[in-house]
Amino acid sequence: MRITSPNIYESKERWKIGLVAILILIVIGSILYTNYLAENLAKEEKKKVEMLASVFKKLNSADPDVDISFMFEVIKSNETVPLILTTQNNEIIAYRNIDSALVKKDSTYLKRLLAEMAEKNEPIKIELSADTHNYIYYKDSYLLTQLIYFPYIQFSIILLFLITAYFAFSSARRAEQNRVWVGMAKETAHQIGTPLNSLSGWIEYLRESLDPEFSEKIVPEMEKDIERLITVTDRFSKIGSTPSLTETELVTVIDKLLIYFKKRSSMQVSWQFNYNPTENYMANINVSLFEWVLENLIKNSLDAMEGKGNIIIELTKDTDRIIIDITDNGKGMPTRQFQKVFKPGFSTKKRGWGLGLSLSKRIIEEYHHGKIFVQESIPFVKTQFRIILFL
């Protein structure tokens, strides 16, 4: 298959990548700024705890005649930072800004919280005497914790909103595009029908007017082309409708298609059709649409080889599936394009619309409940598309 050149599809991909990059930069900026604020707030909270430690120390050594009401006001002013006051042996003396209900409910709660505080922040030592001291353990306030997690919550909400908006917009756009394409397809089928009837009449006229020996060479081939146009018209008329599937022998369908292409391709193209003649390759397909898929793959192979090379079609059968491999030795494609080739608008040709493989994927996967994908690609050696039909 051909290696693509820049097109509309790739431009859209670049826009998507750009928008995602901008979103990531905004989130990173928000996280960095929030972390900066959180660090400053954490420093302020540490200063507050150190000040409380200083107050506790002064209270312990205060002269009875000195007014200590201000010190108690300082202690009461701490309404946010959870802390625990312990002895030098880590026996809990008092605690503040900790849920009393949890303490009453679980007798080990304070011990676990103390261990958590010790792991997160170094305790502040309160010197009471030469050989006696207490410790104040503390952790981040609820406000600081909220501030730390805020950008991540913000990012999750923005991301959820963007994903929801993207899928809603994409679904609405696809539905509108589908209606347009279905209308165009059906109108095209209707428009082609009139000249086709006229051409059929002209063929009968040529058959009767030309020399029999001459007409026997030309007229049958013209009839095949008209039959092909009728098939194309039938395909376009079925777009947007649920096609009927009938049990069909795949060898017969592929043989007929190869006969048509062999006469209309370069003599330098070698064709090979491999299958087990003793095997039964019956599958439920819509012949007209399934032929369309094979035609798209074969045409892509012919374009990739530029009129010279080998095309191999191979049928294999397992207990529950039939595999159709279409292989050529054309220009190939890089691995990163294996998925992109099936996207609408992805074209390997300068004048291509990029709809052939997209339609092929829809026909195989939505209508026939099978799979179609690029099996492998080695430039000028082997590019293989695989179709799987489940039995």
Instruction: Give residue for tokens 């030795």.
Output: 329
Please classify residue 363 by burial: count the beta carbons closer than 10 Å to its beta carbon, then call 0-12 exposed, 13-18 middle and 19+ buried: buried
Tens digits of residue pLDDT in 246-259: 999 999 999 989 98
Tell me what the mean pLDDT of segment 159-167 comes to.
80
Q: Is it the case that residue 144 has pLDDT exceeding 50?
A: yes
Please classify residue 64 by burial: count the beta carbons closer than 10 Å to its beta carbon, then call 0-12 exposed, 13-18 middle and 19+ buried: exposed
Output b/e per residue, 224-235; b: 16+ Cβ within 10 A: eebeeebebbeb
The C-alpha atoms of residue 326 and residue 298 are separated, in whole angstroms, by 8
For residue 77, give every residue at least 6 positions away whose Cβ sits within 8 Å of its Cβ, in sequence order, or none.
none
For 219, which DSSP code? H
The C-alpha atoms of residue 166 and residue 23 are separated, in whole angstroms, by 14
According to the model, what pLDDT value does residue 149 have? 77
First to last CA, the chain: 29
SS3 label, residue 229: helix
Tell me what the mean pLDDT of segment 53-73 comes to.
53
Predicted confidence band of residue 66 (pLDDT cuts 50, 70, 90): very low
Tens digits of residue pLDDT in 290-307: 998 999 899 889 988 888
Tell me what the mean pLDDT of segment 100-121 comes to.
86
According to the model, what pLDDT value does residue 180 have? 60
Q: What is the pTM of this model?
A: 0.51
CA-wise closest residue to 332 among 352, 355, 309: 309
Is residue 247 within 8 Å of residue 189, measured between CB atoms?
A: no
Tell me what the mean pLDDT of segment 88-116 comes to.
85
**Pairing between β-strand 269-274 and β-strand 309-317 as defined by DSSP bridges:** parallel
